[in-house]
Protein backbone atom coordinates (compact mmCIF):
# COMPACT_ATOMS: atom_id res chain seq x y z
CA UNK A 1 0.00 0.00 0.00
CA UNK A 2 1.26 3.42 -0.90
CA UNK A 3 0.18 6.55 0.95
CA UNK A 4 -0.47 9.39 -1.46
CA UNK A 5 1.03 12.77 -0.59
CA UNK A 6 -2.22 14.53 0.45
CA UNK A 7 -2.84 11.71 2.96
CA UNK A 8 0.47 12.16 4.69
CA UNK A 9 0.17 13.20 8.33
CA UNK A 10 1.86 16.39 9.56
CA UNK A 11 5.58 15.85 9.99
CA UNK A 12 6.54 16.10 13.67
CA UNK A 13 10.06 17.53 13.51
CA UNK A 14 10.31 17.89 17.30
CA UNK A 15 9.68 14.18 17.69
CA UNK A 16 12.20 13.39 14.94
CA UNK A 17 14.93 15.48 16.52
CA UNK A 18 14.48 13.83 19.91
CA UNK A 19 15.52 10.60 18.17
CA UNK A 20 19.01 11.98 17.43
CA UNK A 21 21.41 12.47 20.38
CA UNK A 22 23.48 14.89 18.28
CA UNK A 23 20.77 17.54 18.66
CA UNK A 24 21.25 17.48 22.46
CA UNK A 25 25.03 17.92 22.37
CA UNK A 26 26.27 21.26 23.72
CA UNK A 27 29.22 21.05 21.28
CA UNK A 28 26.85 20.91 18.31
CA UNK A 29 24.35 23.41 19.64
CA UNK A 30 23.56 26.08 17.05
CA UNK A 31 25.46 24.28 14.32
CA UNK A 32 23.52 23.54 11.14
CA UNK A 33 24.67 20.29 9.55
CA UNK A 34 24.79 20.33 5.73
CA UNK A 35 27.26 17.52 5.00
CA UNK A 36 24.81 14.67 5.53
CA UNK A 37 25.73 13.07 2.19
CA UNK A 38 29.15 12.47 3.73
CA UNK A 39 27.64 10.77 6.77
CA UNK A 40 24.47 11.47 8.75
CA UNK A 41 23.89 11.79 12.46
CA UNK A 42 23.16 8.40 14.06
CA UNK A 43 19.73 7.70 15.49
CA UNK A 44 19.36 7.13 19.24
CA UNK A 45 18.22 3.59 18.46
CA UNK A 46 21.50 2.90 16.62
CA UNK A 47 23.60 4.21 19.49
CA UNK A 48 21.52 2.18 21.98
CA UNK A 49 21.91 -0.99 19.93
CA UNK A 50 25.67 -0.52 19.67
CA UNK A 51 25.91 0.08 23.40
CA UNK A 52 23.75 -2.95 24.10
CA UNK A 53 25.93 -5.20 21.96
CA UNK A 54 29.20 -3.92 23.40
CA UNK A 55 28.03 -4.10 26.99
CA UNK A 56 25.73 -7.15 27.10
CA UNK A 57 26.80 -9.48 24.31
CA UNK A 58 30.43 -8.77 23.40
CA UNK A 59 31.35 -12.46 23.29
CA UNK A 60 31.62 -14.89 20.39
CA UNK A 61 28.09 -14.84 18.94
CA UNK A 62 26.20 -18.10 18.31
CA UNK A 63 28.15 -20.03 20.99
CA UNK A 64 26.08 -22.11 23.46
CA UNK A 65 25.82 -19.68 26.38
CA UNK A 66 23.22 -16.96 26.99
CA UNK A 67 25.24 -13.85 26.03
CA UNK A 68 26.41 -15.50 22.81
CA UNK A 69 22.93 -16.75 21.95
CA UNK A 70 21.50 -13.27 22.42
CA UNK A 71 24.32 -11.72 20.35
CA UNK A 72 23.62 -14.13 17.50
CA UNK A 73 19.90 -13.47 17.73
CA UNK A 74 20.49 -9.72 17.50
CA UNK A 75 22.63 -10.20 14.39
CA UNK A 76 20.05 -12.49 12.79
CA UNK A 77 17.20 -10.14 13.57
CA UNK A 78 19.11 -7.28 11.91
CA UNK A 79 19.22 -9.30 8.68
CA UNK A 80 15.56 -10.28 8.96
CA UNK A 81 14.25 -6.84 9.78
CA UNK A 82 16.31 -5.10 7.12
CA UNK A 83 15.09 -7.63 4.58
CA UNK A 84 11.51 -6.88 5.60
CA UNK A 85 12.02 -3.14 5.26
CA UNK A 86 13.73 -3.49 1.86
CA UNK A 87 11.20 -6.09 0.68
CA UNK A 88 13.72 -8.81 -0.13
CA UNK A 89 14.37 -12.25 1.38
CA UNK A 90 16.51 -12.47 4.53
CA UNK A 91 19.28 -14.39 2.74
CA UNK A 92 19.47 -11.65 0.12
CA UNK A 93 20.83 -9.13 2.65
CA UNK A 94 24.63 -8.95 2.95
CA UNK A 95 26.35 -6.72 5.48
CA UNK A 96 29.95 -5.76 4.76
CA UNK A 97 32.34 -3.05 5.96
CA UNK A 98 31.40 -0.42 3.37
CA UNK A 99 29.87 0.05 -0.05
CA UNK A 100 33.33 0.45 -1.64
CA UNK A 101 34.39 -2.85 -0.16
CA UNK A 102 31.15 -4.55 -1.21
CA UNK A 103 31.53 -3.47 -4.85
CA UNK A 104 35.20 -4.53 -4.77
CA UNK A 105 34.19 -8.01 -3.69
CA UNK A 106 31.37 -8.14 -6.24
CA UNK A 107 33.71 -7.24 -9.10
CA UNK A 108 36.01 -10.12 -8.15
CA UNK A 109 33.11 -12.51 -7.77
CA UNK A 110 31.64 -11.71 -11.19
CA UNK A 111 34.96 -11.63 -13.03
CA UNK A 112 35.66 -15.29 -12.34
CA UNK A 113 32.63 -16.28 -14.42
CA UNK A 114 33.25 -14.04 -17.42
CA UNK A 115 35.29 -14.56 -20.59
CA UNK A 116 37.51 -12.24 -22.55
CA UNK A 117 35.39 -9.97 -24.72
CA UNK A 118 32.40 -10.02 -22.37
CA UNK A 119 31.07 -6.51 -21.81
CA UNK A 120 29.93 -4.37 -18.90
CA UNK A 121 28.43 -0.90 -18.69
CA UNK A 122 29.50 1.77 -16.21
CA UNK A 123 28.53 5.43 -15.94
CA UNK A 124 30.51 8.59 -15.36
CA UNK A 125 27.73 9.74 -13.00
CA UNK A 126 28.73 7.33 -10.22
CA UNK A 127 30.81 7.79 -7.12
CA UNK A 128 34.08 5.94 -7.79
CA UNK A 129 32.91 3.07 -5.55
CA UNK A 130 30.55 1.77 -8.25
CA UNK A 131 32.82 2.66 -11.14
CA UNK A 132 36.54 2.03 -10.64
CA UNK A 133 36.24 -1.58 -9.49
CA UNK A 134 34.32 -2.41 -12.67
CA UNK A 135 36.51 -0.32 -15.00
CA UNK A 136 39.60 -2.15 -13.74
CA UNK A 137 38.28 -5.38 -15.24
CA UNK A 138 39.46 -4.08 -18.60
CA UNK A 139 42.91 -5.37 -17.61
CA UNK A 140 41.51 -8.89 -17.64
CA UNK A 141 40.01 -8.58 -21.11
CA UNK A 142 36.52 -7.34 -20.23
CA UNK A 143 35.19 -4.60 -22.52
CA UNK A 144 33.97 -1.62 -20.51
CA UNK A 145 31.43 0.71 -22.09
CA UNK A 146 30.60 4.06 -20.55
CA UNK A 147 27.05 5.38 -20.22
CA UNK A 148 27.90 9.08 -20.21
CA UNK A 149 26.00 11.99 -18.69
CA UNK A 150 24.79 15.05 -20.55
CA UNK A 151 27.59 17.56 -19.80
CA UNK A 152 25.12 20.38 -19.13
CA UNK A 153 22.55 18.67 -16.93
CA UNK A 154 24.67 15.85 -15.53
CA UNK A 155 21.79 13.43 -16.17
CA UNK A 156 21.73 10.04 -17.90
CA UNK A 157 19.58 9.37 -20.97
CA UNK A 158 17.95 5.94 -21.28
CA UNK A 159 18.23 6.01 -25.06
CA UNK A 160 22.02 6.04 -24.66
CA UNK A 161 21.83 2.95 -22.47
CA UNK A 162 19.91 1.05 -25.14
CA UNK A 163 22.71 1.79 -27.60
CA UNK A 164 25.32 0.32 -25.27
CA UNK A 165 23.65 -3.03 -24.60
CA UNK A 166 24.88 -5.89 -26.78
CA UNK A 167 24.55 -9.66 -26.73
CA UNK A 168 27.77 -9.83 -24.73
CA UNK A 169 26.72 -7.36 -22.02
CA UNK A 170 26.82 -9.05 -18.64
CA UNK A 171 26.29 -6.28 -16.13
CA UNK A 172 25.50 -2.59 -15.82
CA UNK A 173 26.46 -0.49 -12.78
CA UNK A 174 24.72 2.84 -12.20
CA UNK A 175 23.60 5.08 -9.34
CA UNK A 176 20.09 5.48 -7.94
CA UNK A 177 21.11 9.11 -7.74
CA UNK A 178 24.44 10.86 -7.89
CA UNK A 179 26.11 12.29 -4.78
CA UNK A 180 26.72 15.48 -6.79
CA UNK A 181 23.86 16.17 -9.22
CA UNK A 182 21.26 14.61 -6.92
CA UNK A 183 18.92 13.72 -9.78
CA UNK A 184 17.02 10.48 -9.22
CA UNK A 185 17.44 8.02 -12.08
CA UNK A 186 14.37 6.00 -13.16
CA UNK A 187 15.79 2.90 -11.51
CA UNK A 188 12.78 0.62 -12.06
CA UNK A 189 12.69 1.39 -15.77
CA UNK A 190 16.45 0.93 -16.15
CA UNK A 191 16.40 -2.38 -14.26
CA UNK A 192 13.48 -3.58 -16.41
CA UNK A 193 15.39 -2.88 -19.62
CA UNK A 194 18.48 -4.60 -18.27
CA UNK A 195 16.50 -7.61 -17.07
CA UNK A 196 14.91 -8.01 -20.49
CA UNK A 197 18.38 -7.96 -22.04
CA UNK A 198 19.64 -10.51 -19.48
CA UNK A 199 22.02 -7.95 -17.96
CA UNK A 200 22.65 -7.84 -14.19
CA UNK A 201 21.81 -4.46 -12.59
CA UNK A 202 24.08 -3.09 -9.83
CA UNK A 203 22.52 0.01 -8.29
CA UNK A 204 24.47 2.32 -5.99
CA UNK A 205 21.78 3.60 -3.64
CA UNK A 206 24.16 5.32 -1.22
CA UNK A 207 22.89 8.81 -2.08
CA UNK A 208 19.25 7.76 -2.21
CA UNK A 209 18.77 5.61 0.92
CA UNK A 210 19.27 8.46 3.45
CA UNK A 211 16.05 9.95 2.06
CA UNK A 212 14.08 6.76 2.67
CA UNK A 213 14.93 3.09 2.30
CA UNK A 214 13.75 1.70 -1.05
CA UNK A 215 11.49 -1.19 -1.91
CA UNK A 216 14.21 -3.13 -3.73
CA UNK A 217 11.79 -5.67 -5.20
CA UNK A 218 9.67 -2.89 -6.70
CA UNK A 219 12.82 -1.36 -8.21
CA UNK A 220 13.76 -4.73 -9.69
CA UNK A 221 17.47 -4.29 -8.88
CA UNK A 222 19.55 -7.47 -8.94
CA UNK A 223 22.01 -5.80 -6.59
CA UNK A 224 21.30 -2.69 -4.51
CA UNK A 225 23.89 -1.10 -2.23
CA UNK A 226 23.87 1.61 0.41
CA UNK A 227 25.96 2.80 3.36
CA UNK A 228 24.22 2.74 6.74
CA UNK A 229 26.47 5.43 8.21
CA UNK A 230 24.80 7.91 5.86
CA UNK A 231 21.39 6.42 6.67
CA UNK A 232 21.18 7.25 10.40
CA UNK A 233 22.96 3.99 11.29
CA UNK A 234 26.34 2.41 12.10
CA UNK A 235 29.37 2.29 9.78
CA UNK A 236 28.27 -0.61 7.66
CA UNK A 237 27.73 -1.37 3.96
CA UNK A 238 24.37 -2.93 3.10
CA UNK A 239 23.95 -4.92 -0.10
CA UNK A 240 20.97 -6.86 -1.37
CA UNK A 241 21.80 -9.51 -3.94
CA UNK A 242 19.10 -11.53 -5.71
CA UNK A 243 19.48 -15.08 -4.43
CA UNK A 244 19.99 -16.69 -7.86
CA UNK A 245 22.61 -14.08 -8.73
CA UNK A 246 24.50 -14.65 -5.49
CA UNK A 247 24.51 -18.39 -6.06
CA UNK A 248 25.78 -17.97 -9.63
CA UNK A 249 28.93 -15.97 -8.80
CA UNK A 250 32.21 -17.12 -7.27
CA UNK A 251 32.51 -17.51 -3.52
CA UNK A 252 34.79 -14.79 -2.09
CA UNK A 253 34.89 -16.14 1.46
CA UNK A 254 36.75 -19.15 2.95
CA UNK A 255 36.17 -22.28 0.84
CA UNK A 256 34.08 -23.90 3.56
CA UNK A 257 31.64 -20.97 3.53
CA UNK A 258 30.74 -21.55 -0.11
CA UNK A 259 27.35 -23.00 0.76
CA UNK A 260 26.45 -20.25 3.22
CA UNK A 261 24.79 -17.64 1.10
CA UNK A 262 25.20 -14.62 3.39
CA UNK A 263 28.90 -15.41 3.95
CA UNK A 264 29.99 -15.90 0.31
CA UNK A 265 30.41 -12.17 -0.38
CA UNK A 266 31.74 -11.09 3.03
CA UNK A 267 35.37 -12.32 3.05
CA UNK A 268 36.39 -10.26 6.07
CA UNK A 269 33.79 -11.76 8.37
CA UNK A 270 31.08 -9.54 9.83
CA UNK A 271 31.55 -6.77 12.37
CA UNK A 272 29.20 -8.30 14.93
CA UNK A 273 28.29 -5.12 16.79
CA UNK A 274 27.67 -3.10 13.64
CA UNK A 275 25.52 -5.86 12.19
CA UNK A 276 23.44 -5.99 15.37
CA UNK A 277 23.21 -2.18 15.40
CA UNK A 278 21.47 -2.28 12.02
CA UNK A 279 18.42 -3.11 14.14
CA UNK A 280 18.65 0.52 15.24
CA UNK A 281 17.95 1.76 11.71
CA UNK A 282 14.78 -0.32 11.54
CA UNK A 283 13.84 0.58 15.13
CA UNK A 284 14.07 4.23 14.07
CA UNK A 285 11.88 3.71 10.99
CA UNK A 286 9.34 1.88 13.16
CA UNK A 287 9.40 4.63 15.78
CA UNK A 288 8.79 7.30 13.12
CA UNK A 289 6.06 5.17 11.57
CA UNK A 290 4.22 4.46 14.81
CA UNK A 291 4.35 8.13 15.80
CA UNK A 292 2.87 9.31 12.49
CA UNK A 293 0.70 6.47 11.09
CA UNK A 294 -1.81 3.82 12.09
CA UNK A 295 -0.20 0.48 12.82
CA UNK A 296 0.65 -1.82 9.92
CA UNK A 297 2.06 -5.32 10.15
CA UNK A 298 4.03 -5.27 6.87
CA UNK A 299 7.52 -3.78 7.40
CA UNK A 300 7.87 -2.78 3.73
CA UNK A 301 4.64 -0.79 3.97
CA UNK A 302 5.85 0.92 7.16
CA UNK A 303 9.13 1.71 5.43
CA UNK A 304 7.38 3.06 2.33
CA UNK A 305 5.16 5.36 4.40
CA UNK A 306 8.14 6.75 6.28
CA UNK A 307 10.00 7.16 3.00
CA UNK A 308 7.19 9.27 1.60
CA UNK A 309 6.94 11.31 4.79
CA UNK A 310 10.67 12.10 4.64
CA UNK A 311 10.62 12.96 0.94
CA UNK A 312 7.69 15.34 1.30
CA UNK A 313 9.42 17.14 4.16
CA UNK A 314 12.74 17.33 2.32
CA UNK A 315 11.14 18.68 -0.85
CA UNK A 316 9.40 21.41 1.10
CA UNK A 317 12.70 22.54 2.60
CA UNK A 318 14.69 22.14 -0.60
CA UNK A 319 12.46 24.51 -2.58
CA UNK A 320 13.56 27.76 -0.86
CA UNK A 321 17.23 26.79 -1.11
CA UNK A 322 16.93 26.11 -4.85
CA UNK A 323 14.94 29.36 -5.29
CA UNK A 324 17.71 31.28 -3.55
CA UNK A 325 20.39 29.68 -5.74
CA UNK A 326 18.33 30.33 -8.86
CA UNK A 327 18.54 34.05 -8.20
CA UNK A 328 22.33 34.08 -7.86
CA UNK A 329 24.34 34.82 -10.95
CA UNK A 330 27.60 33.91 -9.18
CA UNK A 331 26.95 30.17 -8.77
CA UNK A 332 26.25 27.27 -11.11
CA UNK A 333 23.95 24.63 -9.68
CA UNK A 334 24.86 21.13 -10.86
CA UNK A 335 21.79 19.05 -11.60
CA UNK A 336 18.09 19.97 -11.81
CA UNK A 337 16.50 22.79 -9.83
CA UNK A 338 13.19 20.98 -9.38
CA UNK A 339 12.89 19.59 -5.81
CA UNK A 340 10.56 16.85 -7.05
CA UNK A 341 13.21 15.21 -9.23
CA UNK A 342 16.19 15.28 -6.94
CA UNK A 343 17.38 14.59 -3.42
CA UNK A 344 18.58 17.46 -1.21
CA UNK A 345 22.24 16.98 -2.07
CA UNK A 346 23.08 20.25 -3.77
CA UNK A 347 26.43 20.84 -5.46
CA UNK A 348 27.45 24.33 -6.56
CA UNK A 349 30.26 25.77 -8.59
CA UNK A 350 30.93 29.11 -6.92
CA UNK A 351 32.97 31.93 -8.39
CA UNK A 352 35.76 31.39 -5.88
CA UNK A 353 37.34 28.52 -3.94
CA UNK A 354 34.70 26.07 -2.65
CA UNK A 355 36.96 25.20 0.28
CA UNK A 356 37.32 28.87 1.24
CA UNK A 357 33.55 29.21 1.18
CA UNK A 358 33.04 26.06 3.27
CA UNK A 359 35.59 27.40 5.75
CA UNK A 360 33.77 30.73 5.93
CA UNK A 361 30.41 29.00 6.29
CA UNK A 362 31.80 27.37 9.42
CA UNK A 363 32.18 30.83 10.97
CA UNK A 364 28.38 31.04 10.61
CA UNK A 365 28.03 27.65 12.32
CA UNK A 366 27.17 25.95 9.04
CA UNK A 367 28.85 22.61 8.31
CA UNK A 368 29.30 22.09 4.56
CA UNK A 369 31.72 20.20 2.32
CA UNK A 370 34.02 21.07 -0.56
CA UNK A 371 35.86 18.89 -3.07
CA UNK A 372 34.96 16.25 -5.65
CA UNK A 373 33.42 13.69 -3.27
CA UNK A 374 35.01 10.85 -5.27
CA UNK A 375 32.78 11.78 -8.20
CA UNK A 376 35.58 13.42 -10.17
CA UNK A 377 34.56 11.75 -13.43
CA UNK A 378 31.14 13.41 -13.27
CA UNK A 379 32.43 16.80 -12.21
CA UNK A 380 35.02 16.83 -14.99
CA UNK A 381 32.42 15.66 -17.53
CA UNK A 382 30.38 18.74 -16.59
CA UNK A 383 33.34 20.97 -17.36
CA UNK A 384 34.33 21.62 -13.75
CA UNK A 385 37.87 20.80 -12.54
CA UNK A 386 37.62 18.02 -9.94
CA UNK A 387 40.11 20.02 -7.86
CA UNK A 388 39.05 22.26 -6.24
CA UNK A 389 35.68 20.74 -7.17
CA UNK A 390 32.36 21.96 -5.82
CA UNK A 391 30.67 23.24 -2.68
CA UNK A 392 28.19 20.61 -1.48
CA UNK A 393 25.19 21.28 0.76
CA UNK A 394 23.26 18.19 1.76
CA UNK A 395 20.51 17.58 4.25
CA UNK A 396 17.97 14.96 5.28
CA UNK A 397 14.53 14.93 6.91
CA UNK A 398 15.74 15.96 10.38
CA UNK A 399 16.94 19.34 9.12
CA UNK A 400 14.77 22.29 10.23
CA UNK A 401 13.42 25.30 8.36
CA UNK A 402 15.49 27.49 10.73
CA UNK A 403 18.65 25.66 9.65
CA UNK A 404 17.78 26.22 5.99
CA UNK A 405 17.37 29.95 6.77
CA UNK A 406 20.71 29.90 8.61
CA UNK A 407 22.33 28.33 5.54
CA UNK A 408 20.77 30.79 3.10
CA UNK A 409 21.83 33.77 5.24
CA UNK A 410 25.34 32.40 5.54
CA UNK A 411 25.54 31.75 1.78
CA UNK A 412 24.30 35.24 1.11
CA UNK A 413 27.23 36.62 3.08
CA UNK A 414 29.91 34.25 1.81
CA UNK A 415 29.22 33.46 -1.85
Least distance from ligand PLP to the Cβ atom of residue 128, Å: 8
If the CB atoms of residues 43 and 227 are measured against ligand PLP, the closer one turns out to be 227
If the CB atoms of residues 3 and 190 are measured against ligand PLP, the closer one turns out to be 190
Least distance from ligand PLP to the Cβ atom of residue 154, Å: 14
If the CB atoms of residues 19 and 179 are measured against ligand PLP, the closer one turns out to be 179
DSSP code per residue over 280-346 = HHHHHHHHHHHHHS---S-HHHHHHHHHHHHHHHHHHHHHHHHHHHHT-SSEEE-S-S-GGGB-SEE
Least distance from ligand PLP to the Cβ atom of residue 324, Å: 24
Angstrom CA distances, 332 to 125, 180, 327, 348, stand at 18, 13, 11, 6
Q: How many residues does the chain have?
A: 415
For residue 169, the surrounding DSSP H or E stretch is strand 169-175
If the CB atoms of residues 179 and 406 are measured against ligand PLP, the closer one turns out to be 179
If the CB atoms of residues 233 and 299 are measured against ligand PLP, the closer one turns out to be 233
Backbone angles phi, psi at 349, to 5 degrees: -105, 105
Q: CA triplet 182, 187, 192: central angle to 5 degrees?
A: 165
If the CB atoms of residues 104 and 310 are measured against ligand PLP, the closer one turns out to be 104
Least distance from ligand PLP to the Cβ atom of residue 173, Å: 11
How far apart CA 97 and CA 269 sit, in angstroms, is 9
Helix, strand, coil percentages, rounded to 5, for the chain: 45, 15, 40
Least distance from ligand PLP to the Cβ atom of residue 126, Å: 7
Q: Which residues bind ligand PLP (CB under 6 A)?
A: 98-100, 127, 129, 175, 179, 204, 206-207, 227, 237
If the CB atoms of residues 73 and 146 are measured against ligand PLP, the closer one turns out to be 146
- Cα Rg for the chain, rounded, in angstroms? 21
Least distance from ligand PLP to the Cβ atom of residue 295, Å: 33
Least distance from ligand PLP to the Cβ atom of residue 102, Å: 8
Amino acid sequence: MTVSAPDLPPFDLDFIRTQFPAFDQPTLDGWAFFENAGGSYASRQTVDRLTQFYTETKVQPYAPYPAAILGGQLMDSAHERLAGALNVATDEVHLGPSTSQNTYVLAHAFREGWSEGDEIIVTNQDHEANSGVWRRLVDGGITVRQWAVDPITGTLDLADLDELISERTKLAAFPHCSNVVGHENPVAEICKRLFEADVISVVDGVSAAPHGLPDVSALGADIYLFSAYKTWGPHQGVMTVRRAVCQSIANQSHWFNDGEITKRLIPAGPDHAQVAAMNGVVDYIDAVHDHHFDPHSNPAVRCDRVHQLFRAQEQELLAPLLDFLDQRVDVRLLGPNDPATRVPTVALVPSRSPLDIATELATHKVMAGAGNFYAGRLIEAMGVPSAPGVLRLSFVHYTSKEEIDQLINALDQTL
